[in-house]
Amino acid sequence: MDKTVQELDVTDKALHERWQRVREDFWGDIKQEALRAVQRLLETTMDIELQDMIGAQRYEHVASRRNRRNGCYYRGLLTSLGWMGQLRVPRLRTGRVFWKSLKAYKRRSNDVDQGILEMFLAGVSTRRVQEVLHPLMGSQSVSASTVSEISKVLDAQVQAFHRRPLLDTYRYLILDGVYLKAKSPASVKRRCILVVYGLRTDGIRELIDFQLAGGGESQSAWERFLTRLKDRGLQGQAAHLAVVDGNKGCWNALDLVFPELPRQRCWAHKLRNVANHVPRRLLKPVMIQAAQLYNATSYGHALKRFKTWKKLWAPIIPEAVDCLERDLESLLVFYKVCPQKLWVKLRTTNIIERVFREVRRRIRPMSCFENTDSVERIVFAIFHRQNNLWKDKPLMEFTQKS
């Protein structure tokens, strides 16, 4: 009776579970058959190649033959359909065979390597690639170290990215330096990465380029980086504003490379500096009121708010007030240069920090990068992914008149 009731169970949940089992069994069988078909195709192709090398078919006795068969050996190959563990590879009695269909020492098919690279470029970490491939390809899936080795193919793309010509169509530039840990032959060091982000005249956002700077954010490092960008085409003729933090090296380099370009000081960096001079008990009210300066409706309105803020806090925390006042003019440039709808995007360098949160997420399982090449590959992968997400999505508030 119970069995009859179970067989007659036609609820949505029961039907869904049964269909899932049927679908899994069906696609599992199809996948195995496809894998066997690919194996037979590879083995047949190698037999034909060997026959052409020898100059005779199997068991054929001709005087013109150039070599003889010598049995076979078995090797494994990881394909997009799964692990092929017993691939029969024929051998010659003398000499070595270089197969057209199967490269020497190749343990993965090209589509597997390409798929791994695509996942890496899409922002999947090496460990996550291993986790993703395991249910698809079984226990013989690639390891995290193998993914790292495959990613070395990106080195040529990284260099091409650094050398590509640039169009002089950037309306606004944001410059910042971020730090990551990387191993050197002797120790672990913090590596500085200089980054330039741009808003183009068509409203497209772009991470233009990055550079590992051995000397940190020095003037010479920024000057070399900016000069290289200028030599590649970024002349700054269309640029209206550069947003930077308080680093003197960057400011001095801009004076030399783009002397006519107005500069906006980053509010986020400046408020951190102000907070260093504020007692903990006063931090919240002071910073809330200071934030009102960049939320004003105009340049004049911001000045009025600053005077009110100064009058209130100068007697209590004069160092904090002086810290903000000495850079006030450069902090308010965005009110004069940018349209109001872009103020929120161009008063800080936070966009670069947000991108590098993804970099740090990728490297969180690692204590640090193994070398500078791995730094370049990870950063390039994040830049490549982010630029692809942006390339067909211009900012709605950005127009040719901005």
| 290 shares a domain with 217 | no
- Can you tell me the mean pLDDT for 46-73? 79
Tell me the DSSP string of 151-219. Answer: HGGGHHHHHHHHHS---S-EEEEEEEEEEEEEE-SSSEEEEEEEEEEEEETTS-EEEEEEEEETT-S-H
Last residue of a domain, one of 114, 137, 155: 155
| 21 shares a domain with 108 | yes
pLDDT of 169 reads 94
| 389 shares a domain with 283 | no
In this predicted model, what pLDDT tens digit does every residue of 211-254 receive, in sequence order?
A: 988 778 899 999 999 999 999 999 999 999 999 988 899 999 99
Residues 6+ apart with CB under 8 A from 54: 65, 66, 67, 68, 69, 92
| Domain coverage including residue 115 | 2-155
* Longest Cα separation, the chain: 107
pLDDT band for position 51 (cuts 50, 70, 90): confident
| 312 lies in some domain | yes
Angstrom distance (rounded) from CA 322 to CA 310: 9
Q: Which of 82-96, 153-167, 231-245, 359-373 has the least mean pLDDT?
A: 359-373
| 249 shares a domain with 170 | yes
| 290 shares a domain with 232 | no
In this predicted model, what pLDDT tens digit does every residue of 181-217 receive, in sequence order?
A: 766 656 667 778 899 999 998 899 999 999 988 778 8
Last residue of a domain, one of 102, 132, 155: 155
| 95 shares a domain with 151 | yes
| 357 lies in some domain | no
Q: How far is CA 385 from the centre of its chain?
A: 5
Structurally, the chain folds into a number of domains equal to 3
